[in-house]
Amino acid sequence: MKSGGLALFSLGLDPLFLARAAFAVRPSAGPSDRRMLVCLFQRGAVDGLNMIVPHGDPIYYQERPRIAVPEKDVLDLDGYFGLHPRLAALKPLWEAKTLAAIHAIGSPDATRSHFDAQDYMESGTPGVKATPDGWLNRYCQHDREHQDTPFRAVAFGPQLPRILAGTAPSLAIDDLQAFGLRAPQPAARDRLTRAFEELYAGSATGLLSTSSREAFDAVQMLKRLDPGEYRPANGAEYPRGRLGKALLEIAQLIKADIGLQVAFADVTGWDTHVNQGATEGQLAGRLSELGDALAAFTRDVGERMRDVVVLTMSEFGRTIRENGSSGTDHGHATAMLVLGGPVNGGRVLGKWPGLDPAQRFEARDVAVTTDFRDLFAELLARHLGARDLSAVFPGFVADSQRFPGAIRG
């Protein structure tokens, strides 16, 4: 902890806001409405092996002569695994035990198609394409303890992702500042809003009807927020780009106390078939943005991180061996990150299968030892307090014995 504290100082962070004591404060009576889950989807399949590097395994270096992260650059975590150096911003969170990684996690389905694998990870039903809704939406459908507000489930981006598709209300917000109707004067804006609201209430059907109703409910609530005036706290500086913007807006909604429980955002650019780089390069750039954005978010949200868990997920991992163009092709298991006050941090969770050819999936990829649903179910049950997991993950028996242990008991 001591070195962790020093590291925080050297990064200019206030160690108090990260202190475990602050995170450790929990609501006295069971899971409350204040618990929040933020999911980031690394679309394109992140190379888990260069994100959480098994630098203690010589096979890693043998198989990746051009793209392995050199031992000297890896930020060691536990003597065997280490962080990619461009995730340095997350190291203080690891030291503060609010960040954990889960390795060798993935889908029981063998597909190496981005689209099928993303679909399965979002529907929560690997191998079943006919599932109409996403698991985060099903959680909202079945867990009625949380008060429904228009902002209960929000996706940041121009499209509502599969994971939030379904009958429970969920918003898609591409730009919080621009959310709503635009008119020169407030009176004109209110009038326009009312007119459109009535048009849709009276004649829209299907998805047009439900989505528009959610939109107008949210617009009403947003009136008391002034998104343009938001300033991140604690000197947090978000990196430029979509991810930084999305996390900034999520932080804003968290602090606005308008009932946010589930937030989602996409992070693209992980499909590194060519020249993915090692310490520097393409993947390093993406990781740097991810790490910096998460660190800024944690700093901005401050004390409230005690109620927040951030999860990163990706549809599958990449080949252990680098391909012919200094990149990696589609593989199987990958690594995910969880961070926040309730996280059982400072450890790499999951059962590591090893990189030995005999232990690989189909003789080439990291084998999956943790079904992604085990982690997702744990977050829902132990963080958000979900009761009925069989409705959220149909065909899957959630068993706390198999939970990877991401949330402190």
Residues 142-181 that bind another protein (CB under 8 A): 155, 158-160, 165, 171-175, 177-181
Verify binding: residue 366, another protein, rule CB under 8 A: no
Verify binding: residue 327, another protein, rule CB under 8 A: yes
Verify binding: residue 323, another protein, rule CB under 8 A: yes
Where do runs of H (alpha helix) occur along 232-281? 242-256
Verify binding: residue 228, another protein, rule CB under 8 A: yes
Verify binding: residue 242, another protein, rule CB under 8 A: yes
Can you tell me which of 182, 186, 224, 409 binds another protein, judged by CB under 8 A? 182
Verify binding: residue 112, another protein, rule CB under 8 A: yes
CA distance 377 to 402: 10
Can you tell me which of 26, 34, 190, 212 binds another protein, judged by CB under 8 A? 212
The residue (of 220 and 390) whose beta carbon lies closer to another protein is 220
Candidate segments 33-41, 200-208, 339-347, 395-403, binder of another protein by CB under 8 A: 200-208
Verify binding: residue 324, another protein, rule CB under 8 A: yes
Verify binding: residue 185, another protein, rule CB under 8 A: no
E strand or H helix at 262: strand 262-267
Count Cα atoms within 13 angstroms, Cβ side, for 57: 19
Q: How far is the CB of 243 from another protein (least distance, A)?
A: 9
Can you tell me which of 32, 220, 275, 390 binds another protein, judged by CB under 8 A? 275
Candidate segments 15-23, 55-63, 98-106, 206-214, binder of another protein by CB under 8 A: 206-214
E strand or H helix at 218: helix 206-222
Interface with another protein: number of residues (CB under 8 A): 75
Interface of this chain with another protein, residues 9 to 28, rule: CB under 8 A: none
Verify binding: residue 115, another protein, rule CB under 8 A: yes
The residue (of 69 and 96) whose beta carbon lies closer to another protein is 69
Smallest Cα–Cα separation from 47: which of 285, 332, 357? 332
Verify binding: residue 234, another protein, rule CB under 8 A: no
Interface of this chain with another protein, residues 283 to 322, rule: CB under 8 A: none
Verify binding: residue 114, another protein, rule CB under 8 A: yes
Q: How far is the CB of 300 from another protein (least distance, A)?
A: 10
Rounded to the nearest 10 degrees, the angle between the axes of helix 206-222 and helix 186-203 is 150
Interface of this chain with another protein, residues 121 to 140, rule: CB under 8 A: none
- 80-112 b/e (C-beta count within 10 Å ≥ 16 → b): ebbbbbbbbbbbbbbbbbbbbbbbbbbbebebb
The residue (of 27 and 241) whose beta carbon lies closer to another protein is 241
Interface of this chain with another protein, residues 56 to 75, rule: CB under 8 A: 66
Q: Which residues, including other chains, have CB under 8 Å from residue 144's CB and lie 6 or more apart?
A: none
The total of other beta-carbon atoms located within 10 Å of residue 11's CB is: 14
Q: How far is the CB of 273 from another protein (least distance, A)?
A: 5
The residue (of 329 and 374) whose beta carbon lies closer to another protein is 329
Which tokens go with 380?
């829902």
Verify binding: residue 238, another protein, rule CB under 8 A: yes
Q: Which residues, including other chains, have CB under 8 Å from residue 386's CB and lie 6 or more apart?
A: 139, 142, 143, 380, 392
CA distance 211 to 299: 33
Can you tell me which of 34, 255, 273, 402 binds another protein, judged by CB under 8 A? 273
- Tell me which residue has tokens 């990870």: 121
The residue (of 43 and 306) whose beta carbon lies closer to another protein is 43
Q: Which residues, including other chains, have CB under 8 Å from residue 377's CB and lie 6 or more apart?
A: 389, 392, 393, 396, 398, 403
DSSP SS3 for 401: helix
- 300-313 b/e (C-beta count within 10 Å ≥ 16 → b): bbbbbbbbbbbbbb
Interface of this chain with another protein, residues 40 to 59, rule: CB under 8 A: 43-44
Q: How far is CA 63 from the centre of its chain?
A: 29
Can you tell me which of 91, 245, 306, 360 binds another protein, judged by CB under 8 A? 245
